[in-house]
Amino acid sequence: MMSVMDNLHEKAKALHKTIVLPEGNETRTLKAAVQALNEGLITPILIGKEDEIKALAAANDLDVSQIKIVDNALGATDKYAAELFELRKKKGMSMEEARELAQNPLYFGALMLRLGEADGMVAGAENATSNVLRAAIQVVKTKPGMKNVSGCFLIDLPDKNYGDDGAFIFGDCAVIPAPDSEQLADIAVSCAESKRLLIGGEPKVAMMSFSTKGSAKHESIDKMNAALALAKEKAPDLLIDGEMQLDAAVVPAVSAKKCPDSPLEGKANVLIFPDLNSGNLCYKMAQRFGHATAIGPILQGLTKPVNDLSRGCSVQDIVDIFAVTALQGE
């Protein structure tokens, strides 16, 4: 049977998406771009000085002759500066400041994406998450009705008795440290969309807690229940329930005892955590103790796909995020 990641790669290949890479002179990114092109996964665009990128490619025995390279200092900066000025002038940005910022590789790539010159953007191998997010939020913007950008992980467990044949979406595991109820509602709706897109099938969303249906009392439980109500308003057809403990969310026999009226019936495949501490810890526990494949962080809530890499990422991690980004562009 094809793995979740293999399935993502096959779907991405059929889409023929173009992904812009602002860190074109970063070795792992360059290797991933060449691998992805050779596999027919995406068409990459590298941002950076052409002579530097070609020298790095030669030093690593990489053929970049078929890859478009755009120098952010020499490219269509007037067009990009004008677009950035229009976006940020109400925030006090001058045209001179826009012209300078448009040459920043992250903003240059985000502007290419905004103007339809690419289908997605991937960065973060050498840039901090905050820098990638800032460019994405200021240029690409959030989806209508969505105020928050969040980060999920696609978790693929070897034990196929849980989730959707072992596959889950966990959120937020990367972006919002202490989400309030409105942010949690956005996270839940975004994670459900990611589940449909990346795994397929119906999302079954559980709002996670140390309590199940009022078995304890705490302000964090109140927050999860308020988020549940808001998520139902945002997405009335979404199958979502909470608050609940992990076993009640994913084990039908436990669900039958602890929350017999839950529409999830212990078959949740999207887990929404109360804060970044719990989300980040749980995805890493699934990865290390449960031997799960963890793909991400996958950014959600933007009008067009931008994804942030871990600075410790491998070449294959980057290639996998290319596949995810291509699918998000649909």
- Alpha helix locations (H) across the chain? 4-13, 27-39, 50-59, 77-88, 95-102, 105-114, 129-135, 181-198, 219-234, 246-250, 252-258, 276-288, 315-328
d(CA 271, CA 152): 10
The DSSP annotation for 180-216 comes to -HHHHHHHHHHHHHHHHHHT-S--EEEEE-SSSTTSS
Predicted pLDDT of residue 1: 65
User: What's the token pair of residue 83?
Assistant: 């677009």
Predicted pLDDT of residue 19: 98
Average of per-residue pLDDT values in the chain = 94
Average pLDDT of 40-51? Answer: 97
Greatest CA separation for the chain: 65
Pairing of strands 204-208, 239-244: parallel
- CA–CA distances in Å: residue 290 to residues 166, 269, 280, 293, 301: 11, 16, 15, 9, 29
Helices 95-102 and 77-88: crossing angle in degrees, nearest 10, is 120
More confident residue, 310 or 305: 305
Tell me if the pTM is above 0.85. Answer: yes
Average pLDDT of 178-183? Answer: 96
Q: Check whether 294 has a pLDDT greater than 70.
A: yes
Predicted pLDDT of residue 101: 93
d(CA 104, CA 7): 35
Same fold, 4-141+303-328 and 150-294: yes
d(CA 260, CA 49): 61
Predicted pLDDT of residue 59: 97
User: What's the token pair of residue 317?
Assistant: 């991690």
pLDDT tens-digit readout, 129-150? 899 999 999 999 999 988 889 9
d(CA 52, CA 164): 45
Percent of the chain predicted with pLDDT > 70: 99
Determine contact, residues 163/157, Cβ cutoff 8 Å.
Answer: yes
76 CB neighbour count, 10 Å cutoff: 16
Predicted pLDDT of residue 75: 65
Q: State which fold the 4-141+303-328 domain adopts.
A: Rossmann fold (3.40.50)
pLDDT tens-digit readout, 65-90? 999 999 998 866 789 999 999 999 99
The rounded Cα 282 to chain-centroid distance in angstroms is 17
Dihedral pair phi/psi, residue 96, rounded to 5°: -65, -45
Predicted pLDDT of residue 5: 85
Note if the bond before 297 is cis, omega within 30 degrees.
Answer: yes
According to the CATH classification, is domain 150-294 in 3.40.50.12780? no
Domain definitions of the chain by residue range: 4-141+303-328, 150-294
Determine contact, residues 133/124, Cβ cutoff 8 Å.
Answer: no
Dihedral pair phi/psi, residue 164, rounded to 5°: -100, 85
Predicted pLDDT of residue 214: 85
Determine contact, residues 212/244, Cβ cutoff 8 Å.
Answer: yes
Q: Is 264 exposed, middle or buried (0-12, 13-18, 19+ CB in 10 A)?
A: buried
